[in-house]
Structure 1
Amino acid sequence: FSGGSRSKSLGRQLKWPFSASETTTFLNEISSHKATVNLALSADSVRKLQLSLSKIGELSDQVTRIEETVKRIETNTLIEVDREKLRILNFMALKMILAGSVIQEALTHGHQPHSEIPRRQTL
């Protein structure tokens, strides 16, 4: 009978070699280490969050500066486009005045024979 209880005891030790008090001690140590790791992870997360927030602030400032630059470029472009439009309109107006003068000259002298058209004197 003692051989049977001995084999049961040996079987229990092979299954789980630690006593209940040793198991409790190990669990307490593991819990303590787990709490330490969780605290370290939380501190690291807070640090990374602070870093991210500061970078967001920097990015916001950069976006604001870019928006201001784009507005200045748009304004300068509109001014330049307006100048170009004015130049083209002035050119077209000059062409129209010149064409009107040619038409008026043709209408004024159009009924006269070719030989009677007065020639302009050169200065």
Structure 2
Amino acid sequence: MSIFYLLTFLLIKFTSSKLRPPLPPGPTPLPYIGSLISLIRNKPTFRWIHRMMEEKSTKILCIRIGSVHVITVSDPKIALEFLKDTDGIFSSRPNSMSAPMGNHWKKMKRILSSEILSMASE
């Protein structure tokens, strides 16, 4: 009976991993904690991320922190594509204290979308 459970587990594990799309390149993570030690050791973190992007010669990088895959992007075109694809997910979230919806927030959102992420700024 335990052989049946083992075979079922292995079958599910190998078939589900083939169905996922491939992730962008990134540093080799450790089991369970991912790249958390490298992230803590290399301060400031954004410089370490940019250095990893230069080493891998890519504009999109996948860093695993624990069981979460963090995708970092340095190209405005790729970032715009991400924002367009995931706009529905983020717009349906409830208001919280971490993202206030006041006049300042609306102004910052307008500046971000019109000046920083616009295609005309290139």
Length-normalised TM-score, structure 1: 0.21
User: Greater relative contact order: 1 or 2 (C-alpha under 8 angstroms, separation 6 or more)?
Assistant: 2
Larger radius of gyration between Structure 1 and Structure 2: 1
Q: Kindly indicate which of the two structures has a greater share of residues assigned to helix.
A: 1
Length-normalised TM-score, structure 2: 0.21
Q: Kindly indicate which of the two structures has a greater share of residues assigned to strand.
A: 2
